[in-house]
Amino acid sequence: MDTSIPGISPQQLIKIRSSANAPLLIDVRREAAFKSAPDMAAGALRRDPATVEQWAGELPDASAIAVYCVHGHEVSQNVAKALRNRGLTADFVEDGIEEGLRAAGSAMMAKPLDAGTRWVTRERPKVDRIACPWLISRFIDRNAEFLYVPTAEVKARAASDNAIAYDVADCAFTHDGPNCSFDAFIKTYRLTDPALLQLANIVRGADTGHPEITPQSAGLIALSLGLSRLIADDHQQLQQGMVLYDALYLWCKEGQDEQHSWNPEIYR
C-alpha cells in the first residue's frame, strides 16, 4: 500500500457527499471487475484506470476528487497519485467499494453494460429532458445513450435496459423543491463551471414556470416548445437541441459582452 497517497474513509465520504465541497467520485475498478459487478456508487463517474493520463484532463471542474476500486489498494491509489501529479486534489477511498462504501451504507446505482452510461426518461421532451442529456454528453459521459419512453414505462425500462432514470418522480436526478433535474446533475457531479451555473439558472427558469429568474428563460421556453412542435421524433429533437444548448452555453461563457443592434448610419 502506498502510504504517501492520502485516503478518505467511506464514512467520511458519505458524510460530506451532500456538502458544497464534496469531491467528485470516480469508479476506477479494473475493466473485468467493473463488468462483473452488479452496480456502482451512486453519482460516480466511470473511468478506466489504465487510461488515466487520457481522461485526467477532461474531468469536470471539481474542487476535489475521490477514486475507488474494489478494495482500495494499488488500483485506486495509483490513479489518485497520477491525478495528484497533474495538480489535482485527489484521494482514494479506503477499503474500496465492497468492504468500504457498500459496507458503510453508501447508495448504489445501476451501471452501464457497455462503454457509456444509459439514461431513460419520459417521451416528448421540452426543456429538462433535452438540457440534461446535453449536460451528460458534454460534461459527464460523452458516450452516453438516451432513451425516451412513455411515462408509465420509465422505471421498467430502466430496470430492463440497465439504464438510469431521470426527470421522473422518486429517482436521484429529478426536481427537488425549486430546483429542476438539470440542477440535480450539477449538484451530484460537482460541476462548478461559472458559465454552466449561469446556464442552470436559465434552464431552471424555463423548466419550472418561472421565466423571471433570468431574462433568457422566456426565450428558452419559446425555442423549446417550438422545437417540440417542429420535430416529432424525440431523438431527432435531441440532436437539434444539442446545438441549441451548445450555443447558449457558449454565450454564457464568452458572448455576453458582445452587443448587437442595427445602425443604419454604417450602411450609408
Segment 106-156, tens digit of pLDDT: 988 777 655 567 899 999 999 999 999 999 999 888 888 899 999 999 999
What's residue 61's pLDDT? 62
Q: Does 198 score more than 90 pLDDT?
A: yes
The structural domains of the chain, with segments of one domain joined by +, span 7-109, 118-255
Q: How confident is the model at residue 252 (pLDDT cuts 50, 70, 90)?
A: very high
Chain centroid to Cα 130, Å, comes to 13
Mean pLDDT of 202-213: 97
7-109: CATH architecture: 3-Layer(aba) Sandwich (3.40)
**116 vs 167, which has greater pLDDT?**
167
User: For residue 145, what are the β-bridge partners?
Assistant: 118
pTM equals 0.71
Lowest mean pLDDT among 33-37, 94-98, 131-135, 233-237: 33-37
Residue type, 7: G
Rounded distance between C-alpha atoms, residue 109 and residue 116, angstroms: 15
How confident is the prediction for the chain on average, in pLDDT? 90
What's residue 76's pLDDT? 97
Q: Does 191 score more than 60 pLDDT?
A: yes
What's residue 189's pLDDT? 81
Q: Which of 189, 11, 12 is nearest to 109 (CA)?
A: 189
Q: Does 2 score more than 60 pLDDT?
A: no
Rounded distance between C-alpha atoms, residue 68 and residue 73, angstroms: 9
